[in-house]
Amino acid sequence: MTNQNLEHTLVLIKPDALKNSLTGYVLSQLSEYHAGLRFAGSKIVNVPRMLAEEHYAEHRAKPFYFSLIDFIRGRDQYPDAPEKRRVIALVYQGVDAVQKVRDIAGPTDPHVARETRPGCVRALGSVVPVKDADGNVIGHRMDNLIHASATVPEAEREIKLWFKPTDIPPLMRPYETVTCDQSYYYQEGQLFTEYAADRTLLVAPGACVWKTDLEVLNAINEGATPAYTLEAVASKYVVNERPEED
Ligand code: CDP
Ligand code: MG
């Protein structure tokens, strides 16, 4: 395997796959042997609103957006059982990993997937109506079992959004890391360098962090314009810290 073609991609096994007990099926479709890829990271995530909104930021203006946020957070599948709201997040590594996993997933729309690519994972998905507060149908949402990064740059953004470097074995880490030399905390959209009650520790001196994340934190701390948002750095550190309240 040459490093030139070595790619990484983010896979999410979405809450509809968990609800329908299709996790084993999805993982077997993604088997290392058949895909020719290697698992580099995995975690079970109770998806905080902040992470869902960052992940789907490009869809903010779409009619299905709010419904999509509820869906990826498992609120639709488990309205009365918050403890069951999870996704399985994976980093998959290998030659042409991005396109290979997109091919295994298939078209975004499950109806199109069934028509054009029977046998792909998303062919087992469903399309559900999206309603406004009065119950009128205002669009449709595609519940398609699996997320797969669409491009190499998107994969980098998404892997850094969901995974800390230390979630991935050192020899499999795709992006540059640095050692942090100060503490940063997060609370309600703001960055702090000192601890206080209800602030979440993001990084401490000695922590191994994505280089670009530390650049973002330092820029915000210095009042400069960061390359991406504080939420994109903080999301993975607040994951599984405490139950979400909504
Ligand atoms: O996931 P993919 O990259 O194939 O599609 P996308 O256009 O980036 O949309 C992200 C996700 O939003 C999809 O996987 C669907 O779950 C959802 N979506 C939807 O519900 N309705 C649409 N018209 C388009 C996307
Ligand atoms: Mg996409």
- Pairwise CA distance, residues 135 & 73, whole Å: 22
Judged by its nearest atom, the ligand closest to the C-alpha of residue 12 is: 1
Partner residues linked to 201 by β-bridges: 185
Q: Which two tokens stand for residue 172?
A: 């499999």
pLDDT at 1: 47
- The number of residues in the chain equals 246
> Could you tell me if the CB of 126 is within 6 A of ligand 1?
no
Domain chopping of the chain, boundaries: 6-163, 177-238
Q: Catalytic one among 59, 111, 140, 147? A: 147
Q: Which of 109, 142, 149 to mutate to test the pocket of ligand 1 (most atoms within 8 A of CB)?
A: 142
Residue 55 CB contacts under 8 Å (≥ 6 apart), including other chains: 72, 158, 161, 162
- Residue in 13, 26, 47, 68 to alter for ligand 1 test, most ligand atoms within 8 A of Cβ: 68
Quote the pLDDT of residue 38: 98
Q: Compute the distance from residue 199 Cα to the ligand 2 centre, in Å.
A: 32
At residue 3, the pLDDT reads 61
pLDDT tens for residues 81-139? 999 999 999 999 999 999 999 999 999 999 999 999 999 999 999 999 998 889 999 88
Output the pTM of the full model.
0.96
Cα distance between the two ends of the chain = 45
Strands 6-13 and 38-45: unpaired
Token couple for 151: 């491009």
The reply to whether 147 belongs to the active site is yes
The CATH homologous superfamily to which domain 6-163 belongs is Nucleoside diphosphate kinase-like domain (3.30.70.141)
pLDDT of 244 reads 78
Instruction: Give pLDDT < 50 ranges for the chain.
Output: 1
